């Protein structure tokens, strides 16, 4: 493995782990057992277990990170004319909104019991993801496809959150 490949490998690991950062902040900020937060909610009968929620979110944060690595690797290539400067800026802005919006869902729902706020950030996360996906398609099709199950998960979460009381 040459030096460039090593650097890319480190960048990939950082990109994959970075979206998980907000979840860790929430755990430390609230100093609570998240199982307790989850169990305090009145949830619909079709609710997945808390472990399933944690696993799915972790997988999606890693997938978002991988997709971002693929895109930013592609758009940072010297001389790459496939993506305009404006598109690069738009991608960075929407990604910078999308990930914190996903992070905000659990503190709003579980920590603050603010269902309206939780639905609002999910709508923001969903709208940014659906904006990012076609923009990313022109840069890296694999990265765009990686966002599709995440969009479906956000739709599920909006439906689920509206059923929570």
- Map out the domains of the chain with their CATH numbers: 3-163 (1.20.1260.100)
| Reported confidence tier of residue 83, pLDDT bands at 50, 70, 90 | low
What's the 3-state SS for 18-82?
Answer: HHHHHHHHHHHHHCCCHHHHHHHCCCCCCCCCHHHHHHHHHHHHHHHHHHHHHHHHHHCCCCCCC
Q: What is the pTM of this model?
A: 0.85
Per-residue pLDDT of 106-132, as tens digits, reads 888 877 789 999 999 999 999 999 999
């Amino acid at each position: 493995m040459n030096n460039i490949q090593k650097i890319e490998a480190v960048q990939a690991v950082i990109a994959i782990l970075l979206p998980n950062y907000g979840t860790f902040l929430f755990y430390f900020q609230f100093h609570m057992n998240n199982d307790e937060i989850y169990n305090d909610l009145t949830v619909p009968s079709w609710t997945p277990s808390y472990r399933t929620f944690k696993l799915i979110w972790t997988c999606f944060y890693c997938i978002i990170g991988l997709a971002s690595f693929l895109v930013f690797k592609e758009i940072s290539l010297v001389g790459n004319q496939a993506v305009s400067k404006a598109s690069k800026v738009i991608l960075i802005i929407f990604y910078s909104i999308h990930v914190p919006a996903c992070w905000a869902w659990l503190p709003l729902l579980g920590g603050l019991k603010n269902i309206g706020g939780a639905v609002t950030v999910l709508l923001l996360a969903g709208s940014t993801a659906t904006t990012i996906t076609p923009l990313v398609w022109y840069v890296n099709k694999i990265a765009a496809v990686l966002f599709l199950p995440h969009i479906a998960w956000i739709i599920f979460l909006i439906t689920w959150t509206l059923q929570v009381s």
